[in-house]
Amino acid sequence: MTAMQITGDNLSTVEMTKRFGGVTAVNGATVTFQHGKVNGLIGPNGSGKTTFFNCVTGMIKPDSGVVTYRGRTIMGKPPHTIARAGIGRSFQLCRIFPRMTVLENLLVAVRTTRLSALMSGSRNPAETERARGWLRRVGIDHLEHTEARNLSYGQQKLLELAGVLMGDPETIMLDEPAGGVNPALIGRIATLVRELNAEGKTFIGTAHGLVDSWG
């Protein structure tokens, strides 16, 4: 990771450290990601990329250091607070609701949609149309009534990304978006990232190396 000049719009860490017992997973990470760009975090398995993401997004608390976003400290904040600040993320292993349909997965991602209402068949028309729009954008709108467990792994990655986009984040962190995905869908993800970046979204993605880089 290369440190760059810190500005108020950037996501930055300063001397961020996380240990698990005697293992230091993230060791004094100081890095600033460029706002409005596609940024990469590259390293082999076990190098701490996912732990870094977890620390930034509030999934776990760093032992020390500082994390700032748009000039404000976010370290130690709960995940929902960080999400509302404008940071969305995907996970290395997809986090979806396997027995819910593709469309239902996106509606659950919206804070104003209660799970109980969704399961009873009650849907907000505006949210439903917005969800369908994102499904069209990622290329799986034809699968909206399919249970998520019946999607290929690459399609599940696209579904998870669509769910992130439902939250309208300014910065999107993608944990190994190309991992386990066939080349055709990798190309679709990469194209979508470039398009959304051109529309103003900032991306931070992890990869094992330049060979499997997705950006």
Q: What is the mean pLDDT of the chain?
A: 86
Q: Give the residue from 65, 45, 47 showing the smallest Cα distance to 56.
A: 65
**pLDDT, average across residues 2-19:** 71
Please give the pLDDT value at position 193.
93
Please give the pLDDT value at position 7.
42
Query: Is 211's pLDDT higher than 50?
Result: no
Quick one: pLDDT band at residue 186, thresholds 50, 70, 90? confident
Quick one: pLDDT band at residue 109, thresholds 50, 70, 90? confident
How many Cβ atoms from other residues are within 10 Å of residue 182's Cβ?
Answer: 12
**pLDDT, average across residues 199-203:** 95
Q: Whole-prediction pTM value?
A: 0.85
Please give the pLDDT value at position 115.
54
Distance (Å, rounded) from C-alpha 114 to C-alpha 34? 35
Structure tokens at 17: 């450290």
Quick one: pLDDT band at residue 3, thresholds 50, 70, 90? very low
- Set out the domains of the chain in order of their start, with CATH numbers: 11-212 (3.40.50.300)
Quick one: pLDDT band at residue 168, thresholds 50, 70, 90? very high
Q: Mark out the alpha helices in 15-172 (DSSP H runs).
A: 49-56, 79-85, 102-108, 115-119, 125-138, 153-166
User: Who wins on pLDDT, 199 or 10?
Assistant: 199
